[in-house]
C-alpha cells in the first residue's frame, strides 16, 4: 500500500523550550481524505509546517509518497500543495500573477501555467478577479485564491490548514464541493478545521492531536460509533411546569417549552416519544443538540487534559 504521508516519531522543541510535538507517528494512505483535528496550540500547524518544510523537526522523519522531507526536500515538496492558515501571498500582486508564479516555482512552463491558472481560478469563481490587485479581494476570495495557488502544480497531496476559517456558509459549501472533487480525482487531502461538521461530512479518517500527542487515530465511522449518548433538543406544544422523569434517559428543562433529552444510542427514540406522550407532553419538533463529532472531540480533549502529567 502506498502512503501519501508517513510521520515517524516526530518531535519538535522550539528554542523557548516548548515541546510542540512529542514523538508523534501517523500514516495517511494515498487517496484518503484525512482530518487532523485538535484545539488551538495542539501542534497541528507545527506538524503541517514540518511536512511542508517550513519548520525544521527536532527529530524523527516525515515521508511524502515515500520521499523523506528531511533528506530529499525538493522531491518531497514536488508532491505537495499547501493552503496555509494565514494569508501568505503578496497582496499587491494580481491573482493571475500569484498563481502563475507559483507554477513557475514548480518548473511548470508559462504557457501551461497560464492554462492551469485559468482553470483553477474559474473553478473557484475567481477568474473575473484575475487582474485585480489581491488586496482588494474579500476574505473568502483570498482563501479561494490560496486554494487555486496550491492546486496549480496539481499536487498528489493537498494540505489544507483551516481553509474555510472566516468564510460564509455558502462559499464554504462551494469550497467543500471543490475539495471533494479534487479528492475524488485521486488527490490525497489532509484537512485541519475547527468546523467539526466539515470534518465529519468530508473526511474518511481522522487523527486528533492534543498537547503534541495523537490522542485518537482511526476512521471516522468507527470514531462516531463510539459515541454512546446523543442529546436532542425538543420543542414542545404546551408549556410544562415540572421536568418529566424518564427511565434510562436524562432530561433537562431549558425553558418552559424546550427540553433536552440525552439517551443511549441503543435506546429507540420511539421510547422517548411514547413516554412523553404518556405524560401528556406533545413534541412539535426535534433536533440534535450538537454535532456528533464535536461531542466526541470535546470528550477526548477533556480526557487528555485530565490525564496525569498532561498540562491543562
Judged by the rule CB under 8 A, the positions of this chain that interact with other proteins are 14, 49, 52-56, 73-75, 77-78, 80, 82, 84, 86-91, 97-98, 101-102, 104-110, 149
Instruction: For other proteins, give the closer residue by CB, 110 or 299.
Output: 110
Instruction: For other proteins, give the closer residue by CB, 77 or 175.
Output: 77
> Residue 152's closest CA among 197, 105, 189?
105
Strand 59-64 with 157-161, pairing: unpaired
- Residue 44 C-beta: closest distance to other proteins, Å: 14
Instruction: For other proteins, give the closer residue by CB, 106 or 232.
Output: 106
Instruction: For other proteins, give the closer residue by CB, 74 or 285.
Output: 74
Residues in the chain: 312
- Residue 102 C-beta: closest distance to other proteins, Å: 6
End-to-end CA distance of the chain: 38
- Residue 306 C-beta: closest distance to other proteins, Å: 30
- Residue 76 C-beta: closest distance to other proteins, Å: 8
Instruction: For other proteins, give the closer residue by CB, 103 or 301.
Output: 103
- Residue 34 C-beta: closest distance to other proteins, Å: 19
Distance between CA 8 and CA 61 in Å, rounded?
5
Amino acid at each position: 500500500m502506498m502512503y501519501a504521508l508517513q510521520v515517524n516519531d516526530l518531535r519538535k522543541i522550539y528554542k523557548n523550550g516548548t515541546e510542540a510535538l512529542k514523538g508523534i507517528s501517523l500514516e495517511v494512505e494515498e487517496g484518503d481524505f484525512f482530518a487532523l483535528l485538535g484545539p488551538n496550540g495542539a501542534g497541528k500547524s507545527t506538524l503541517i509546517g514540518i511536512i511542508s518544510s517550513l519548520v525544521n523537526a527536532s527529530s524523527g522523519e516525515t515521508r511524502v509518497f515515500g520521499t523523506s522531507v528531511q533528506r530529499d526536500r525538493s522531491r518531497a515538496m514536488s508532491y505537495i500543495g499547501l493552503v496555509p492558515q494565514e494569508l501568505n501571498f503578496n497582496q499587491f500582486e494580481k491573482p493571475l500573477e500569484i498563481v502563475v508564479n507559483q507554477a513557475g516555482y514548480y518548473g511548470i512552463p508559462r504557457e501551461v501555467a497560464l492554462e492551469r491558472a485559468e482553470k483553477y481560478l474559474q473553478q473557484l469563481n475567481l477568474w473575473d478577479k484575475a487582474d485585480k490587485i489581491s488586496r482588494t479581494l474579500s476574505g473568502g476570495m483570498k482563501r479561494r485564491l490560496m486554494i487555486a495557488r496550491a492546486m496549480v502544480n496539481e499536487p498528489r497531496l493537498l494540505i489544507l490548514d483551516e481553509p474555510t476559517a472566516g468564510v460564509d456558509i455558502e462559499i464554504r459549501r462551494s469550497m467543500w464541493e471543490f475539495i471533494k472533487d479534487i479528492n475524488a480525482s485521486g488527490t490525497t487531502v489532509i484537512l485541519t478545521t475547527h468546523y467539526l461538521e466539515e470534518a465529519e461530512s468530508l473526511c474518511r479518517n481522522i487523527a486528533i492531536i492534543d498537547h503534541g500527542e495523537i490522542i485518537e487515530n482511526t476512521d471516522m465511522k468507527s470514531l462516531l460509533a463510539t459515541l454512546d449518548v446523543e442529546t436532542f433538543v425538543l420543542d414542545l406544544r404546551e408549556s410544562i411546569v415540572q421536568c418529566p422523569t424518564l427511565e434510562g434517559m436524562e432530561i433537562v428543562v431549558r425553558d418552559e417549552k424546550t427540553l433536552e433529552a440525552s439517551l443511549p444510542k441503543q435506546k429507540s427514540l420511539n421510547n422517548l416519544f411514547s413516554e412523553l406522550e404518556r405524560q401528556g407532553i406533545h413534541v412539535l419538533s426535534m433536533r440534535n443538540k450538537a454535532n456528533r463529532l464535536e461531542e466526541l472531540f470535546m470528550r477526548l480533549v477533556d480526557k487528555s487534559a485530565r490525564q496525569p502529567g498532561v498540562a491543562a
